[in-house]
Amino acid sequence: MDRTTSLDMTEQIIDPLLETQNVRDNAELADDAMASPAPIANAEHQESPPNAPIPMLRIRPTSGWRAVDLRELWRYRELLFFFTWRDIKVRYKQTILGATWAVIQPLMTTGIFSVLFALLMGKGNEPTVPGVPYPLSTFCAMLPWQLFAFSLTQSGNSLITSQNLITKVYFPRLVIPLSAVLSGLVDFAVAFAVLIAGLLWYQVQVDFSLLMLPVFVLMALGASVAVGLWLAALTAIYRDFRYIIPFIVQFGMFASPVVYSTDSVKSKLPDWAFQLYSLNPMVGVIEGFRWSLLGTGDPPGLTVAFSALMTTLLFVSGLLYFRRMERTFADVV
């Protein structure tokens, strides 16, 4: 399915959905007005002139540096679900392997680096987690990284690809990058099933640390949304970021402990440099992901704390900046 067909299908489905949502909003306003009528001085003032203009309800985003309106976002939850479903359906439309591509990419990357490090450093000397085979350690780290990288790419370009909808009618623009991040969970779930098979193949004994896995998945989603909001807003205004995002993803992969362990970096860096390295939001996520599944080493408390702090700062600042620029998206996309 090409981009034009995808947009046509989206507009055909979303138009009645948005119309229904606007009707609901108007109905809620009418109910509020009926529940709290204005005080009446006398009946004479209640009569409207015969040619009085019809009141107009203008729906538009809030102004200034304001955080997200959770009530508004909840009212548009069906739209969020539709955008997520649309992204998943379009991504695998007219493909032979379908969702299998969600497994092929991390498997191929793991295989390439396994062969590369085996040739350069010798078999058994790869920068892996102690006591864990290198392919399993790398594939375990590849899952949260693929979720993060996919979310950055999709959310960064999400406003541009949805420009026909943005210029047509108002709805919370935050729905668009959020749906791009949520659609990546499907690929994550498919690849995670393969990871479970790998754990069984290598006979890895999991323990109670597995209960912390949902926390690190949520942290990966939080980091994806935090950086994705910045990139979505910046790409809508400055199209140069469409070409910068691939470089960010490539650099970020090697700046994160995906194809190597954190211990191999910590032993070669001074303390201040390692603390600076730990500010990367994905360092704590990947290390926590490995620890909860592979059960090796001590809990990565300090790196997780640094990553959580950086994710929170990026999320709050990205959300404020996105909301600040939301009023201009229809004019610049």
pTM of the model: 0.78
Residue 12, exposed/middle/buried by CB under 10 A (0-12, 13-18, 19+)?
exposed
Residue type for 209, please? S
107 Cβ contact partners less than 8 Å away, ≥ 6 residues apart? 139, 194
- Work out the average pLDDT over 137-149: 93
- The pLDDT, as a whole number, for residue 30 is 41
Q: Does pLDDT of 184 surpass 80?
A: yes
- Work out the average pLDDT over 77-93: 86
- Work out the average pLDDT over 106-111: 90
- Work out the average pLDDT over 118-128: 73
Residue 2, exposed/middle/buried by CB under 10 A (0-12, 13-18, 19+)?
exposed
Highest mean pLDDT out of 7-11, 201-205, 289-293: 289-293
**96-107: b or e for each residue (b if 16 or more CB lie within 10 Å)?**
eeeeeebbebbb
- Work out the average pLDDT over 285-293: 92
| CA nearest neighbour of 224 among 153, 143, 287 | 153
For the stretch 56-70, pLDDT in tens is: 545 555 555 555 677
Contact 156, 242 (CB under 8 A): yes
- The pLDDT, as a whole number, for residue 68 is 67
- The pLDDT, as a whole number, for residue 18 is 56
- The pLDDT, as a whole number, for residue 229 is 93
- The pLDDT, as a whole number, for residue 286 is 93
Q: Alpha helices, DSSP H only, in the chain?
A: 3-35, 70-75, 77-91, 101-121, 134-156, 158-161, 163-166, 175-201, 213-237, 241-254, 262-266, 271-278, 281-294, 301-325, 329-332
- The pLDDT, as a whole number, for residue 38 is 44
Residue type for 200, please? L
Neighbours of 259 (CB within 10 A): 23
- Work out the average pLDDT over 315-326: 89
Q: Does pLDDT of 75 surpass 60?
A: yes
Measure the CA–CA gap between 146 and 27, rounded to whole angstroms: 43
Residue type for 191, please? A
Could you tell me which residue, 27 or 249, shows the higher pLDDT? 249
Residue type for 233, please? A
Q: Does pLDDT of 132 surpass 80?
A: yes
Neighbours of 312 (CB within 10 A): 14
Measure the CA–CA gap between 134 and 40, rounded to whole angstroms: 78
Highest mean pLDDT out of 26-40, 280-294, 316-330: 280-294
Contact 184, 224 (CB under 8 A): yes
- With pLDDT > 70 as the criterion, what percentage of the chain qualifies? 77
For the stretch 151-182, pLDDT in tens is: 999 998 888 888 888 888 888 888 999 999 99
Domain locations along the chain = 67-325
- Work out the average pLDDT over 210-230: 93
For the stretch 270-283, pLDDT in tens is: 888 888 898 899 99
The residue behind tokens 């920068």 is 127
195 Cβ contact partners less than 8 Å away, ≥ 6 residues apart? 139, 140, 143, 293
